[in-house]
């Protein structure tokens, strides 16, 4: 995700010289510098004395945050904003590690960031200024759309719907392909049909002004094949019930990970 954001910033015209990547692995640090032309260091100790970054982006696994975040507390003067894209790490967590006066924004982008089609939901603490929110919004928009919320507790449901959501769509493509094979289609052809159908329908949904239910109705002829299939998928124990259970379980797990 960090790599997707970095590529998006450079594509939008941010100067590579204004970006410093902190990467403990020397080989990975060199690779980032070579690939993107950005400054790359292996330790915060290598950062120029007296330099205060406008934005610090935490784009590391939640499991290593305890080892990474405390070193950045020296920048928590109010002028530096801290933007986290780590799942499960709350604003309170960062306030504890960085200090109660730190300006913190918690964001949840999803994997379509890799192709510039992410949806990111962000939430800021009370120390974050309007200008810092605007700046973070622009950084996140480099990989897709951005929505803001005031109630951080909604981030667990956001994670379950959009953070994990791409996996549900990929599973749909898998299952649709397997269902085609069960009806006699060659496996390669069935995978091609399922993949193109899911991708094409997603692009139609993206471009259309109508809501999803109207698009579904447009495809469904009375008494036709689509209606026959939807009688199964829209049954009481069908897709809606399965997704509600899945999203509820993912939301619960997100709350558990946040502690």
User: Mind listing the domains of the chain with CATH numbers?
Assistant: 2-163 (3.40.50.720), 165-258 (1.10.3730.10)
Distance of CA 181 to the CA centre of its chain: 32
Given this model, what pLDDT does residue 23 score?
87
Q: Which of 13, 205, 243, 176 is nearest to 117 (CA)?
A: 205
Question: In the prediction, which pLDDT does 52 show?
Answer: 85
In angstroms, the CA 29 to CA 3 distance is 12
- Count of H helices and E strands in the chain? 11, 7
Query: What is the per-residue pLDDT for 43?
Result: 86
Report the predicted TM-score, pTM, of the whole model to 2 decimal places.
0.90
Q: Are 110 and 119 in contact (CB under 8 A)?
A: yes
Query: Sign (positive/negative) of CA torsion 93, 96, 98, 104?
Result: positive
- State both tokens at 222: 């009375």
> Which pLDDT value is given to residue 62?
84
pLDDT at 47: 82
pLDDT per residue of the chain (259 residues) written in tens, 0 to 9: 888 999 999 998 999 999 999 988 889 888 888 989 998 988 888 887 777 899 999 998 888 899 999 999 999 987 899 999 988 899 999 999 999 999 999 999 999 999 999 999 999 999 999 999 999 999 999 999 999 999 999 999 999 999 999 999 999 999 999 999 999 999 999 999 999 999 999 999 999 999 999 999 999 999 999 999 999 999 999 999 999 999 999 999 988 887 7
- Which residues touch 209 (CB under 8 Å, ≥6 apart)? none
Q: Is 185 exposed, middle or buried (0-12, 13-18, 19+ CB in 10 A)?
A: middle
Cβ-contact 83, 139 below 8 angstroms: yes
| Predicted local distance difference test score (pLDDT) of residue 87 | 83
Residue 107's φ and ψ, nearest 5 degrees, are -130, 150
Query: Strands, DSSP E only, in the chain?
Result: 20-22, 39-41, 55-58, 81-84, 103-108, 118-124, 144-148
Tell me, what DSSP letter sits at residue 162? I
């Amino acid at each position: 995700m960090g790599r997707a954001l970095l590529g998006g910033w450079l594509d939008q015209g941010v100067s590579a010289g204004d970006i410093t990547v902190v990467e403990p692995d020397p080989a990975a640090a060199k690779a980032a510098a070579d690939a993107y032309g950005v400054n790359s260091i292996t330790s915060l100790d290598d950062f120029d004395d007296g330099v205060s970054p406008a934005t610090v982006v935490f784009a590391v696994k939640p499991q290593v945050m305890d080892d990474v975040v405390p070193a950045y507390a020296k920048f928590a003067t109010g002028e530096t904003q801290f933007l986290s894209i780590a799942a499960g790490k709350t604003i309170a967590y960062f306030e504890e590690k960085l200090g109660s006066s730190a300006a913190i924004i918690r964001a949840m982008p999803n994997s379509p960031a890799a192709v510039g089609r992410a949806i990111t939901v962000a939430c800021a603490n009370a120390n974050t200024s309007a200008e810092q929110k605007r700046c973070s919004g622009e950084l996140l928009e480099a990989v897709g759309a951005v929505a803001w919320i005031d109630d951080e507790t909604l981030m667990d449901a956001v994670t379950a719907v959009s953070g994990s959501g791409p996996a549900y769509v990929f599973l749909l493509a898998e299952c649709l392909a397997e269902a085609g094979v069960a009806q006699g289609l060659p496996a390669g052809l069935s995978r091609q049909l399922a993949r193109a159908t899911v991708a094409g329908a997603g692009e139609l949904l993206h471009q259309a002004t109508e809501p999803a239910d109207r698009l579904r109705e447009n495809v469904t002829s009375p008494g036709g094949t689509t209606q026959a299939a939807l009688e199964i998928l829209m049954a009481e124990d069908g897709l809606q019930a399965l997704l509600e259970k899945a999203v509820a379980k993912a939301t619960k797990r997100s709350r558990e990970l946040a502690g």
